[in-house]
Amino acid sequence: MQRRIAKYLFIIGIVVLFIFFTIKSETDFSFPNTPNLEAFKVMNGFPLKVNISQNRLYNVKIGIIDSGIDGKQRNLKLNEVNSSQVIVGNKTHGTTVASIIGAKKSEDLDFNGMLPGITLYTFDIQSNTLNTDTLSKAIDEMSQIGVKVINISLSTYKDSPNFKKSIESAVNRGITIVASAGNDSSKEYSYPASYEIPGVISVGALDDNLDVWSISNFNDTIDVFAPGTGIYAINDRISNNDIETFNGTSLSAPLVTTWVSLLLAINPSLTPSEVEKLIKETSKRRLVNWKQSRVYINMANINGSLIKATNYVE
């Protein structure tokens, strides 16, 4: 009997050691050397205060719906949901946005995004066809391929029941939507950012002084503010491959999309509404300037949300 017990204890010990070393062998993610780390410092996201499995993080499927995504960009790993509509000489806004998340340094480009080399699932909308119908189609197609978060650095001031229905359907499928609030120095509602659907995260832009950037839209549907001036990215001209700095809520949104990906890597069971709630609950309430006014905002607090996400129960 004693021998049998000893044998069982030995086997259990081997299993425990195997599990321990398997877990420990997973590589923890660490941010690359990128100038946008300064933005993440502002968002209390660097250095990270929790361990995140790189394998888990890079398995979070990120979608990008934008205008002008260069499918041949060598420094991005793109899985095109539809064919790229980029024409040489045209603006490539979508390439700029995507590079903030996933650009990977190479011999001819000294720049990393926040998650270098991660696969990005892209839907390219020509700027002259941007409307609620094309946005609805993009959302519906993204929903079919299993993305977990979609970055939409585009907007329209036209509301549409069908567009809203597509957004609701995507969220019900477990997809978190991150949308830029717009750059018209206005209090107007833009869509999809202003849909008050749990799981749709509206992002405004901060300037270098941590005030609301004067050109950023500001209204009561904006969930969180992130840096939006002096953000480094691949330039928006397909004929070149240089790095420039850009301003706008379009650049703030991919920083938040990166944040959402970190949350989902830590706790894959989080629903879109839980992701939004975590972001808002842990953000720092600040009184700042916007044009000639004093306004309250939620300032991003990445580490605060990551710590809370580990064992989050709504």
Q: What does the alpha-carbon distance between residue 63 and residue 122 come to, in Å, rounded to a whole number?
A: 6
* Catalytic residue chosen out of the listed positions 67, 70, 84, 93: 93
66 is catalytic: yes
* Catalytic residue chosen out of the listed positions 143, 180, 250, 252: 250
108 is catalytic: no
Q: What does the alpha-carbon distance between residue 243 and residue 81 come to, in Å, rounded to a whole number?
A: 26
93 is catalytic: yes
What's the token pair of residue 4?
A: 């049998």
Q: What does the alpha-carbon distance between residue 291 and residue 311 come to, in Å, rounded to a whole number?
A: 40
Hey, which residues are catalytic here? 66, 93, 250
